[in-house]
Amino acid sequence: MAKKILVIDDEPHVVKYITAFLEDSGYDTCSASNGEEGIEVLKKEKPDLVTLDLQMPGDTGTRFYRNMTKSKEFKDVPVIVISGIPGRHLAVSKPVAVFEKPIDRDALLDAVKKSLGE
Amino acid sequence: MHDLTTDQSVRILDSLPCYVTLMDRRLRVLWSNDAAHRDFGDPLGKTCYELFRVRGDKCSECLVEQSFQDGAIHNKEMTLVTAEGDRIDVLVYSSPVRGDNGEIASVVETAVNISSVKEMQKQLILLGQTVAGLAHGLKNIMMGLDGGIYVVNRGLQDKNQAEVREGWEMVLFNFDKISKIVKDILYCSKDREPNIQEVQPNSVIREVSDLFRETARGYGITLQLDLDEEVTHAEMDPDGLHSVITNLVANAIDACKMDLWKDEHLIEIRSRKGADGSVTIEVADNGTGIDRDTKDQIFEDFFSSKGDKGTGLGLMVTQKIMKEHGGSITFRSRPGQGTTFTAKFPHRET
Ligand SMILES: Nc1ncnc2c1ncn2[C@@H]1O[C@H](COP(=O)(O)OP(=O)(O)OP(=O)(O)O)[C@@H](O)[C@H]1O
Ligand SMILES: [Mg+2]
């Protein structure tokens, strides 16, 4: 069965882009446009990996991450941070990878495969 | 080559286009050339730091003492204050002067005015920041274009018309963003005369609020007008006025959107006629407000607290337009409560 990836970004265009690319690479995807919705989708879809957009201080992405790492069930789901702001991933303690926009698709795919142990 | 007389040597020193001073071990000025005399006054009985009005006591790394100590030449950049109180940036060199016995008897200092170089340096730093800000804005648009192109290609491959359209919209959206940034930058980089005409400010306000009403409603924000009917017409640049209101309302919507604490959000656009014939336009929101750290920065070019979502040019363009009109833009804000921006256009004779 294909692994499932949750894409969180409040820009619908970015969600479309990343999900399209991941689907073409053979993954199932689901998406959310903010952190609150992200938690709901997380519970429902139980993804194997999350890509998270982090940019504004106090934004919902940071909160999403905090909630996720607090839950027993999901705390070990790998997170890849996709951010427009270099060096701002500090809010997340240990993302498996950090990408700046615009993303390098091949590098993203490598990081996804590696964190899924493929 | 002929030997110089003492008189000639002094005349040469006097006509050097820099400040030349001679100091003893206790930093007293033994002699200064004409240029130093003219700009800093009589050195008699003064130490060098007194003559040059360096703040406080002697300089932290005294060049003169260093040269006395190691017999070498030293230099550094300093700011001096002239007798008239002007600050000038100089590059200072100190060099030991030996007596007949070979001992260092005094130290000569030359100070060259580098104010113009400093000014250039400042402009370059500013330019660097501008370019960095620009590059950041472009990065996100690149991502959008990348994505649009990817989705278009995918749609073409799958012969999926809907997907092609979706991708194409992503491309167009980001194209618009680039166009706006380029226009804003061009706008800011040129001195331009506003195209003053008779306009009806209230109509422009209505026009802009109609443009935003749907978007605002989508976020649960009510857009409300409070227009002074006395404001019938004014002499302004119509495009400029339109941009000012658009920028302020767009910011107000963002501030409400990002505010998660209140159930109801309201933006009010007001117009007022002053007794002096000025026209004041206010945009008030009950959004996030602006915190202390941010307050000082919001008018800077490329400052944005919105990450990828903002270029930080909006207020800069707004401020420029207000200046061109001889007007002003100010704001008051309470963090967590909301913000009111006030644009004041002075009265202008027809
Ligand atoms: N009404 C407001 N409430 C709260 N903060 C504001 C408001 N207006 C401006 N700001 C702050 O000032 C910053 C600069 O505003 P400016 O309009 O110059 O850029 P921007 O809105 O971030 O980007 P752009 O205008 O290009 O979309 C904003 O990022 C925000 O932090
Ligand atoms: Mg703005």
Please, what are the domains in chain A? Answer: 4-115 (3.40.50.2300)
For A31, other C-beta atoms within 10 Å of its C-beta total 20
Cβ atoms of B278 and B346 within 8 Å: the answer is yes
pLDDT in tens, A60-117: 777 888 888 888 999 889 999 887 565 554 556 667 788 888 899 999 999 999 999 8
The answer to whether the Cβ–Cβ distance between A84 and B307 falls below 8 Å is yes
β-pairing, B104-113 vs B197-199, is unpaired
pLDDT in tens, B210-249: 999 999 998 899 999 999 999 999 999 999 999 999 999 9
Q: Which atom of ligand 1 is nearest to the CA of B251?
A: 8
B248 and B139 both lie in a single domain: no
> Which of the listed residues B130, B155, B190 is the one where a domain comes to its end?
B190
Among A53-57, B150-154, B276-280, the minimum mean pLDDT is found in A53-57
The answer to whether the Cβ–Cβ distance between B146 and A103 falls below 8 Å is yes
Smallest Cβ distance to B146: which of A11, A55, A102?
A: A102
Residue B61 placed within a domain: yes
> Which of the listed residues B97, B113, B129 is the one where a domain comes to its end?
B113
Overall average pLDDT of the A11-19 stretch? 92
Domains of chain B: total? 3
Query: CB of A11 within 8 Å of any CB in chain B?
Result: yes
Please determine, for residue B307, whether its predicted confidence score (pLDDT) is greater than 80: no
pLDDT value, residue B37? 94
Overall average pLDDT of the B24-28 stretch? 94
* Mean pLDDT rounded to a whole number for chain B: 91
Q: Of residues B111 and A55, which shows the higher confidence score?
A: B111
β-pairing, A4-8 vs A28-32, is parallel
The pLDDT-based confidence of B1 (bands split at 50, 70, 90) is: low
Which residues are CB-neighbours of B24 under 8 A, at least 6 positions away? Answer: B30, B105, B106
B140 and B226 both lie in a single domain: no
Q: Looking at chain B, which residue has its C-alpha nearest residue A13?
A: B170
**Which range of residues forms the domain containing residue B97?**
6-113
B98 and B160 both lie in a single domain: no
Q: Which residues of B touch A15 (CB under 8 A)?
A: none
Which residues are CB-neighbours of A76 under 8 A, at least 6 positions away? Answer: none
Overall average pLDDT of the B261-289 stretch? 95
The pLDDT-based confidence of B312 (bands split at 50, 70, 90) is: confident
User: B interface toward A at CB cutoff 8 Å?
Assistant: 136, 139-140, 142-144, 146-148, 150-151, 154, 166, 170, 173-174, 258, 305-309
Query: CB of A63 within 8 Å of any CB in chain B?
Result: no
The domain that contains B340 carries what CATH number? 3.30.565.10
CA angle centred on B245, ends B239 and B250, rounded to 5°: 120
Please determine, for residue B12, whether its predicted confidence score (pLDDT) is greater than 70: yes
**Backbone Cα Rg of chain B:** 31
pLDDT in tens, B153-205: 999 999 999 999 999 999 999 999 888 888 888 887 777 788 999 999 999 99
**Cα–Cα distance between A86 and A99 in angstroms, integer?**
8
Structure tokens at B331: 């704001």
ipTM over 0.90: no
pLDDT value, residue B94? 96
B205 and B326 both lie in a single domain: yes
Among B340, B207, B198, CA closest to B329: B340
Cis before A57? omega within 30: no
The domain that contains B76 carries what CATH number? 3.30.450.20
pLDDT value, residue A55? 67
For B168, other C-beta atoms within 10 Å of its C-beta total 15
Please determine, for residue B8, whether its predicted confidence score (pLDDT) is greater than 70: yes
Residue B1 placed within a domain: no
Among A86-90, A102-106, B31-35, B334-338, the minimum mean pLDDT is found in A86-90
B67 and B202 both lie in a single domain: no
